[in-house]
């Protein structure tokens, strides 16, 4: 016995008023099909209403699944019978009309009617900075649009800023911005690449002429000599792809991206590498980044980075002494820890300012490529806020300086092998005796 199935959908007719669906007895359809097929075909018919966006649930698309149980018969008779049944069903279903909900128009968000404090709390930038950012991205947004969305570029930028700042679901952000969730999804896919085109303008490493100022900032902050940056890794949770789920899992069984960052004394992010997975160690990320090359070019200026014990001690990267034996080594470790706290507070401020990166907001349910775009975009906007001196405001008030929501640091990283300790010993003898 053969089994087959056919699916019929009503034709997409529209009308301005609700139409009552005509009652089609299923027994009538079965009798009609049996009569047409000459008894060679028995039909088992089920009907269900499927709700779709913009279509009333009760009068939604009527889908009828027809299961044909065909007895053995001559091929030509079977073909004629099947064709007759299908044509008859099409004529019956063609009489059914559907009606569609009138479109719902929500008011678009209007920046001109908002107070300055509300703008900073919602979008993490002030009014003037947002307008300049929109003007910078407008040419890229215009070239990225294949079909006009009818959403102004300013509203598109505002909706993405709201999404990054709040870490809310797309539906929540879309309603607040005056658009649908599918529309916001398209906007997010346009604005993020447009923003990342300007990455080199927002995330910049210090140049040779900047070294005296950068070293002076660190020395004034924690009295550490010749330090130009601190380096560390932070974690951003994501929902991993099913086929490669294990490579995103760290030693604590969390699925995440391992993000390497370098920051200056004022918490400006001068380097970000967000392409590596949670199972990758910090040392591997460092060796496969541009940091060794950049620091190699600056080595003749006797400057160095500050990193934790998860990194190897190199001529340009200073790590703490594991087992200090002298008072000088203890003073070095104390100064090293105070300096390294700058990047820990940078992580805290970054994730407090952009809640989509914080562990309390849950995982990012996006592809690894889009998660990378989200992380880099947040770092760029963080630097923009610092350069424009936009005060970080929460709902309950400002978060002052380094006190902002420091996230716990994973202190269980495996200690790396110390490769070059002569430079560190010379520094301890010269500056911490």
Tell me the C-alpha distance between 367 and 371, whole Å.
6
pLDDT at position 15 is: 40
Backbone angles phi, psi at 7, to 5 degrees: -120, 130
pLDDT at position 84 is: 64
pLDDT at position 283 is: 93
Q: Is the separation of the CB atoms in 312 and 414 below 8 Å? A: no
Name every residue whose Cβ is closer than 8 Å to that of residue 41 and which is 6 or more positions away in sequence: 33, 34, 68, 69, 70, 71, 81, 82, 85
Q: Is the separation of the CB atoms in 231 and 306 below 8 Å? A: yes
Tell me the C-alpha distance between 372 and 39, whole Å.
62
pLDDT at position 346 is: 97
pLDDT at position 244 is: 86
Structure tokens belonging to residue 287: 């060796």
Tell me the C-alpha distance between 153 and 135, whole Å.
9
pLDDT at position 30 is: 53
Tell me the C-alpha distance between 123 and 390, whole Å.
11
304-306/227-237 β-pairing: parallel
Tell me the C-alpha distance between 376 and 280, whole Å.
19
List the domain boundaries for the chain.
2-93, 111-196, 203-431
Q: Which parts of the chain sit beneath pLDDT 70?
A: 1-103, 144-149, 395-419
Per the listing, tokens 């009798």 go with: 31
Record the pTM.
Answer: 0.74
Angle (CA) 168-174-180 rounded to 5° is 140
pLDDT at position 22 is: 44
Structure tokens belonging to residue 242: 């099913």
Name every residue whose Cβ is closer than 8 Å to that of residue 48 and which is 6 or more positions away in sequence: 62, 63, 65
pLDDT at position 47 is: 41
């Amino acid at each position: 016995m053969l089994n087959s199935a056919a699916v019929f959908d009503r034709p997409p007719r529209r009308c301005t008023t609700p139409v009552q669906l005509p009652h089609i007895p299923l027994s009538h359809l079965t009798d009609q099909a049996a009569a047409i097929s000459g008894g060679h075909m028995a039909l088992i018919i089920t009907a269900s209403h499927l709700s779709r966006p913009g279509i009333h649930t009760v009068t939604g698309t009527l889908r009828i699944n027809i299961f044909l149980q065909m007895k053995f018969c001559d091929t030509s008779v079977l073909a004629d019978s099947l064709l007759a049944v299908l044509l008859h069903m099409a004529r019956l279903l063609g009489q059914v009309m559907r009606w569609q909900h009138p479109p719902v128009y929500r008011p678009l968000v209007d920046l001109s009617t908002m107070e300055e404090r509300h703008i900073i709390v919602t979008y993490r930038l002030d009014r003037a900075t947002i307008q300049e950012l929109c003007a910078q991205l407008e040419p890229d947004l215009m070239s990225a649009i294949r079909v006009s969305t009818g959403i102004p570029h300013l509203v598109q930028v505002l909706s993405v800023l709201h999404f990054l700042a709040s870490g809310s679901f797309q539906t929540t952000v879309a309603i607040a911005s005056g658009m649908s969730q599918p529309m916001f999804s398209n906007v997010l896919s346009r604005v993020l690449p447009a923003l990342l085109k300007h990455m080199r303008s927002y995330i910049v490493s210090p140049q040779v002429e900047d070294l005296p100022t950068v070293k002076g900032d660190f020395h004034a902050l924690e009295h550490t000599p010749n330090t130009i940056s601190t380096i560390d890794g932070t974690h951003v949770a994501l929902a991993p792809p099913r086929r490669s789920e294990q490579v995103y899992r760290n030693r604590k069984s969390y699925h995440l991206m391992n993000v390497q960052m370098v920051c200056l004394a004022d918490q400006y992010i001068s380097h970000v590498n967000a392409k590596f997975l949670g199972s990758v160690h910090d040392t591997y990320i460092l060796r496969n980044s541009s940091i060794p090359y950049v620091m190699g070019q600056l080595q003749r200026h006797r400057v160095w980075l500050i990193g934790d014990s998860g990194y190897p001690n190199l001529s340009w990267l200073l790590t703490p002494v594991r087992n200090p034996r002298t008072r000088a080594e203890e003073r070095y470790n104390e100064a090293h820890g105070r300096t390294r706290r700058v990047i820990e507070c940078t992580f805290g401020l970054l994730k407090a300012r952009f809640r989509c990166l914080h562990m309390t907001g849950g995982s990012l349910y996006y592809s690894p490529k889009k998660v990378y775009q989200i992380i880099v975009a947040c770092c760029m906007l963080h630097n923009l806020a610092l350069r424009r001196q936009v005060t970080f405001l929460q709902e309950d008030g400002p978060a002052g300086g380094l006190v902002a929501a420091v996230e716990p640091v994973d202190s269980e990283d495996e200690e790396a092998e110390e490769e070059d300790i002569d430079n560190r010993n010379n520094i301890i003898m010269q500056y911490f005796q």
